[in-house]
Structure 1
Amino acid sequence: MARAENKTEAGGTAHLVAALAKALREQHGLTQPQLGDRLGYTAAAISAMETCAQPASDQMLVGLEQEIGGGLGVFEKARELMRLDKYPAQFKNYVLLEQRALTLSTYVTFVVHGLFQTEEYARALIGGGYPPLKDERVEELVEARLARRALFDRDPTALIELVVEESALRRTIGGREVMREQLLYLAECAQRRNVTFQVLPLDCGLGGEHFGAHGEMTLVETPEHEHLVYLEAQDESLLVSTPTKVTTYAHRYAKIRSQAMGPRESLGLIKQLAGELQ
């Protein structure tokens, strides 16, 4: 929705796209109504894009590339940058690493990891947070979260490991049907050849040891074979690169994984929990 406050909230990419689109439109001798007709938008929508009252959507960027891009690929590149602009500030640096990672090894405790979330689960989770967000912002964040799924099918293939607390799978987010669909999707993801999925059972601490007590973490191996650790809590984030600290986190993750169910047993539990929600 076009809003005056968007003009100040829009990121640098949106402003660059707006200026470039206007310049190229004028260079092609097109009015706003004429460009709108070509793209399937109203003149008001083109005007809103050029003033950042409503920054260009992903679909509009595709049309701009085809109609006035001139084969330069600038609007195509802007699609990626615009998606990055939608992420929360504390997440933007990490998502660039995630997109390029050779391996991701993640331990989560409270909810299903963002990479593995369905649209409805993500919408319920994001929309139910505090402070409350405007509906438009919720949809932006949902769209940005779903775009991360491209990592599953990327070439070269990324190796993805996920260890999740059983309590996160039993915590119903968004209603029984939303949670059931989330569990079924998680089961589908767990059967991908580049994904290893394990559940940390509720009773893993019965013997007095619970190696996940320090909280969530994600270990990242970059294309340059650099090893990093990403931590996030209460809308704050930390990227750890000190080798000795990274080693400690890697050892802790290995101990957490050693307490988890095997992949086959974990898959069985997901399907069982999904069945219980029918």
Structure 2
Amino acid sequence: MNVDHGGGNSNGNEPELSDSLKTFGAVLKALRDEAGLTQEEFAPRVGYSAHYIAKIEQGKRFPPADLAERAEEPLGVVAAKVLGAAARSLTRKAGLASWFHKWAGIEEDAVSLYTYECRAIPGLLQPEPYIRAIFDRRLPPLSEEQIERQVSARLERQQLLANRPNTAFSFVIEQALLERHMGGAEVSRHVLDYLLLQGQRRNVEIQVMPLRQEDHAGVDGLMYLAETPQHEWVGYSEGQQSSILITGPKDVSAMLQRYGKLRSQALGREATVSLLEQMRGAL
């Protein structure tokens, strides 16, 4: 099983800036500028989006392990060696969801993104009141400044839905998460309204898994799956204070089989909208 283990999870630890990340980003930008390339020109030559390259240069994303190798053709041999040396100097702050940096980058370039959630409404579908309700209840408690930083990071990440119209987003959400009324009735109204709104996008499919479902393929827990621009699939999962990036073809294949089964077991798109509207009316 090919996995990468990290500390923390995406629900509570969005990427923070570190000096080493900012330095790496500055080095990349300087080398790119020296080569006379814009981000839009450089990005496709290394196989990533301009948005992802911008995040790396801003020090907000960990660079892919093979970025220096990919940069050799557009930037030159010497520049690639400098970039490789800068990459080896990178450090991570204690407590960060280190592998979520990599997953966040995968998300930004994905042509398909599948999500099954049984713990909380998926981060990409959380309205601001729900985000605040989560972080207000976080243990150990967060300061107001930390909460604001987390809320801002989550809202920024949600721009994927608008910025990636050609990415196919699929979400399977347990009905129990909606029945829980996290944060109270008013927050729940925001959640239902937001799900109904986002579900209107032609590239977004939201399905609810009924409370009673005797045949259920999600007993092993949450699943995140992404199809890369090279049409390879990567999986991601989380637990208490840990996360796993799954790349082994056999393991990812198993996740895809389970996700396909979950989609067939959940309510269809129209039935989901009907249920969400019914729940909204009952609040």
- Does residue 230 (structure 1) correspond to residue 236 (structure 2)? The answer is yes
Q: How far apart, in 2, do the equivalents of 1:155 and 1:10 lie? A: 24
Q: How far apart, in 1, do the equivalents of 2:58 and 2:200 lie? A: 31
Matched position secondary structure for 1:122:
helix
Q: How far apart, in 1, do the equivalents of 2:18 and 2:218 lie? A: 37
Residues 10 and 242 of structure 1: CA distance in aligned 2, closer, same or farther (over 3 Å) = closer
Matched position secondary structure for 1:224:
coil
Residues 199 and 137 of structure 1: CA distance in aligned 2, closer, same or farther (over 3 Å) = same
Q: How far apart, in 2, do the equivalents of 1:151 and 1:263 lie? A: 21
Q: How far apart, in 1, do the equivalents of 2:99 and 2:135 lie? A: 15
Alignment-derived partner of residue 194 in structure 2: 185
- Does residue 213 (structure 1) correspond to residue 219 (structure 2)? The answer is yes
Choose 129-138 or 79-88, whichever is displaced more.
79-88
Alpha-carbon displacement from aligned partner over 1:38-63 (angstroms, at most 9, x marks no partner): xxxxxxxxxxxxxxxxxxxxxxxxxx
Alignment-derived partner of residue 75 in structure 2: none
Residues 175 and 13 of structure 1: CA distance in aligned 2, closer, same or farther (over 3 Å) = farther
The offset of 1:182, in angstroms, is: 1.3
| Percent pairwise identity | 38
After superposition, the CA RMSD in angstroms is: 2.6
Which amino acid is the alignment partner of residue 180 of structure 1? Answer: R
Which amino acid is the alignment partner of residue 178 of structure 1? Answer: V
Contact 2:22 2:58 in 1 (8 A): no
Contact 2:17 2:59 in 1 (8 A): no
Alignment-derived partner of residue 66 in structure 2: none
TM-score by length of 2: 0.68
Alpha-carbon displacement from aligned partner over 1:18-44 (angstroms, at most 9, x marks no partner): x99xxxxxxxxxxxxxxxxxxxxxxxx
Alignment-derived partner of residue 50 in structure 2: none
Matches within 5 A, 1:53-202: 77=54, 81=58, 83-84=60-61, 88-155=97-164, 157-202=166-211
Q: How far apart, in 2, do the equivalents of 1:78 and 1:110 lie? A: 29
Q: How far apart, in 1, do the equivalents of 2:21 and 2:168 lie? A: 33
Contact 1:111 1:171 in 2 (8 A): no
Q: How far apart, in 1, do the equivalents of 2:184 and 2:57 lie? A: 32
Q: 209, 213, 217: which one pairs with 1:204?
A: 213
Contact 1:83 1:144 in 2 (8 A): no
- Does residue 12 (structure 1) correspond to residue 19 (structure 2)? The answer is yes
- Does residue 249 (structure 1) correspond to residue 258 (structure 2)? The answer is no
Consecutive unaligned residues in structure 1, runs of 5 or more: 1-8, 21-75
Q: How far apart, in 2, do the equivalents of 1:78 and 1:101 lie? A: 16
Contact 1:163 1:198 in 2 (8 A): yes
Which structure has the bigger radius of gyration? 1
The offset of 1:102, in angstroms, is: 0.6
Consecutive unaligned residues in structure 2, runs of 5 or more: 1-15, 28-52, 63-92
Which of the two has greater helix per residue?
Answer: 1
Matches within 5 A, 1:34-53: none
Q: How far apart, in 1, do the equivalents of 2:57 and 2:182 lie? A: 29
Contact 1:13 1:78 in 2 (8 A): no
- Does residue 263 (structure 1) correspond to residue 257 (structure 2)? The answer is no
Q: How far apart, in 2, do the equivalents of 1:264 and 1:235 lie? A: 36
Q: How far apart, in 2, do the equivalents of 1:120 and 1:80 lie? A: 31
Residues 258 and 14 of structure 1: CA distance in aligned 2, closer, same or farther (over 3 Å) = closer
Q: How far apart, in 2, do the equivalents of 1:186 and 1:103 lie? A: 19
Relative contact order (C-alpha < 8 Å, sep 6+): which is higher?
A: 2
